[in-house]
């Protein structure tokens, strides 16, 4: 196994290891074109447990 990301091809969905992965939902993550500026990546829907903090960084 290599730790270099350049040694791996972008998955197409036809590979056995990626067969059940929703690649359309992951679109852009493999080539760096993904943008999350219009979505929240983490949302707290309930009170956080004691000792846990939630901050937003811009």
Pick the closest to residue 20 from 29, 10, 28, 11 (CA basis): 11
Token pair, residue 18, equals: 């990626």
Cβ pair 36, 57 in contact under 8 A: no
Phi, psi of 49 (to 5 degrees): -65, 155
User: pTM (2 decimals)?
Assistant: 0.41
Q: What is the pLDDT of residues 2-57, one digit of tens each?
A: 788 778 888 888 889 888 988 888 888 877 777 766 666 677 778 888 998 877 77
E-only strand ranges, the chain: none
Task: Tell whether the torsion through CA atoms of 27, 39, 3 and 1 is positive or negative.
Answer: negative
């Amino acid at each position: 196994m290599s730790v270099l990301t350049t040694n791996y091809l972008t998955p197409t969905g036809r590979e056995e290891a990626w067969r059940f992965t929703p690649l359309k939902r992951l679109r852009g993550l493999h080539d760096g074109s993904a943008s999350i500026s219009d979505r929240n990546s983490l949302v707290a829907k309930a009170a956080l447990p004691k000792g846990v903090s939630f901050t937003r960084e811009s």
